[in-house]
Structures are given as C-alpha cells and as structure tokens.
Amino acid sequence: MKRIIAPSFLASNFLKLAEEVAMVNKSEAEWLHLDIMDGRFVPNISFGLPVVEQIASATDKFCDVHLMIVEPEKYLADFKKAGADQISVHIEACPHLHRVLEQIHDLGMKAGIAVNPHTPIDFLRDIIQHADVVNLMSVNPGFGGQKFIEHTYIKIKELREVIDQKGLNTLIQIDGGVIQGNARTLFDTGANVLVAGSSVFKAPDPEKAIADLLGA
C-alpha cells in the first residue's frame, strides 16, 4: 500500500524557509503539507497565499494545501495560482461539500476532505467517492505539537472499510501527533499519508527523521 510522508511547514523555521524547503527537496518525502488557518474556523492564524507561492516555486514536489478556513470556495483559484497541487477542505466548514470538491477538480487539482476528531466516518459515505484523499485529524486543528488522539486508530479502520467496500483508491491521510513511535502502527492500520510537523522539523536530523518515519 502507498506510503507517503508529508512534512508540515507549520512547524518549520520561517526565518530559514528556503533551507527548510531545500531539506525536504533532498529527502524521501513526496509531499509538502501547508496548513492555512484563518482565526475563525480554528483559533489561530498561520500563513497565506504569498508563503504558499514562495514554497511552491522552490519545489517540484507535490504541494498539499490544507484549508482550515471558512468559505474555502472563495480562495480555491488563488491557491491553484499559488502552486497548490491538492486542496483539502473541512467537511465541517462546507455545507455544500460536493460543489466545493467539484470546484477543486475543475481547477485541475486533487481534492481532499478534512475531518475533525469528533466527526463520524459515517458522514463520509455519500461523498467520499468525490475525494482523492481524506485527511483524518488526529488532533484538534489549529495548533502544532499536540498529542495524538488514540481513537484515530478506530477511525482509520472504519474509513479503510468504507474505501474498500466502495472499491475506491482514496488515500487516508493522518494529520497531528505523528511521531516515530506511532508511524508503523498508523501505516499498518491502513493510513497512506502521514503529516509530520514537529517530529521532522524539530529533529536533530530532519532528513533522517523523514526516512525513519517512512521506513517505520
């Protein structure tokens, strides 16, 4: 089964952003994960389009943009222009989720559904076939460095069953609290993509940390 590490730039050193991107470019990570927070959907503000544009211009790797914002449909074209290859929007923020996923696809990007820890997997059954990835939040969105929520393992199993029952190729992404100590279990449980922030960028050797997570 496909295994991908997606370093989360929320945990990177913004004074050395070019160096951080260069490190990921040299590493075994296939994706770069970019968290956009608006201070409304989540209680924090991260960075926006100019930073995404600069990061995307410095890499040939897959740019995975996670919009933790209200009314994401207003900004999809702008993030495409900035260099996003994939955009994930929150099911909790989109009353017309199907329409938003179609907008993302129409712009030529992959489309993802992000799901907060309290949201049941059952809510995805009638929409998952329109998504390329489901981002299961394994912490409450809004802040980096949080502790992994153990109930996520149950949600991964439930989601894998739904995907397999429908014969889909939808990827399962895990976002939050990913460390060397749980990476293998997450992959073995059915995850495909692990978003790793502090465990990569705060590591003594970030490039090795990525390799270790991938090979867990």
145 is in an annotated binding site: yes
Beta bridge partners of 95: none
Tell me the C-alpha distance between 179 and 197, whole Å.
Answer: 9
143 is in an annotated binding site: yes
The gap between the terminal CA atoms of the chain, to the nearest Å, is 14
Helix, strand or coil for residue 83? Answer: coil
66 is in an annotated binding site: yes
Tell me the C-alpha distance between 111 and 88, whole Å.
Answer: 6
198 is in an annotated binding site: yes
35 is in an annotated binding site: yes
CA proximity to 196, closest of 211, 75, 105, 133: 211
Which active-site residues does the annotation give? 35, 175
8 is in an annotated binding site: yes
164 is in an annotated binding site: no
181 is in an annotated binding site: no
Helix, strand or coil for residue 6? Answer: strand
Are 114 and 66 a contacting pair, CB within 8 Å?
Answer: yes
Give the list of residues 6+ apart from residue 13 with CB closer than 8 angstroms, or none: 19, 20, 201
- Within 38-138, strands assigned E span 62-68, 86-90, 110-115, 133-137
Are 85 and 109 a contacting pair, CB within 8 Å?
Answer: yes
187 is in an annotated binding site: no
Please report, in range form, the residues annotated as the binding site for substrate: 8, 66, 142-145, 175-177, 197-198
Please report, in range form, the residues annotated as the binding site: 8, 33, 35, 66, 142-145, 175-177, 197-198
Please report, in range form, the residues annotated as the binding site for a divalent metal cation: 33, 35, 66, 175
